[in-house]
Structure 1
């Protein structure tokens, strides 16, 4: 089974003034740490929410020109037995390169592309067979009767 794993990372950044600047620096810093070994990991801004009111917050918290940025790192793990196995592999692979950065697994989704492709091919074959029957050319005698 193949799984898509999303891991949240808390990346510290220094000498920043705005949340946008902190996010850009954090993405760049994380990309440098992951490449070239894990260049297949997708890096995106994290989503944070207020625990009291539920409003969405900026992905970076800035205080005294230092920031902590929430990033989401997404990777696909192949040939695993369970979701927990995929989660451990993703944390280990990413954690080895992002030392001293806290990680938390947010999402583990099973990828069932092979099964979906087979079903889509079966459906298209059935549709093609039905359309072949409908679009068959009329018999010669039928054409002659119309004139």
Structure 2
């Protein structure tokens, strides 16, 4: 079974004035921590909601410091079940994002025919042999 795992990260950013600036810096900072080992992890701006359901900006700023919600998405191959995929993703991402809180948001089973020709040919991409996803096509 192959799965796509979405993990939420709470990334602290310092000396910022706007939400947009905080998000840009958080994405850059996270990409720097993940690369080159996990350059296939997609980094996107997260979403937040108030208890009443109101949409909030992805960053909370106080005293020129921000906590930014990011969503990190990676593919995990050759797992027994979705829980196994989420543990692998948390471990791989967590090893590089020290002291960054992580929470698994979603685990989606990937249709094997839609994954591309590498798997259909039996070819193994970087990291795939140990259950970790390889490039997702945007790199």
Check whether TM > 0.5. yes
**In the aligned structure 1, how far is the partner of 2:113 from the partner of 2:59?**
38
- RMSD (Å) for aligned C-alpha atoms: 1.5
Task: List alignment gaps of at least 5 residues for structure 1.
Answer: 118-147
Aligned to 1:66: 65
Aligned to 1:40: 40
Q: Point out the structure with max Rg over C-alpha.
A: 1
**In the aligned structure 1, how far is the partner of 2:75 from the partner of 2:115?**
17
Moved over 6 A (4+): none
Task: List alignment gaps of at least 5 residues for structure 2.
Answer: 117-139
Q: Does 1:87 pair with 2:86?
A: yes
Give the alignment's TM-score, normalised by structure 1: 0.76
Which stretch of structure 1 is more off in the superposition, 28-37 or 106-115? 106-115
Give the secondary structure class of the aligned counterpart of 2:84. helix
**In the aligned structure 2, how far is the partner of 1:115 from the partner of 1:8?**
25
Structure (1/2) with the larger helix percentage: 1
Contact 2:2 2:112 (C-alpha < 8 Å) held by counterparts: no
Give the alignment's TM-score, normalised by structure 2: 0.81
The 5-angstrom pairing of residues 1-147 of structure 1 reads 1-52=1-52, 54-114=53-113
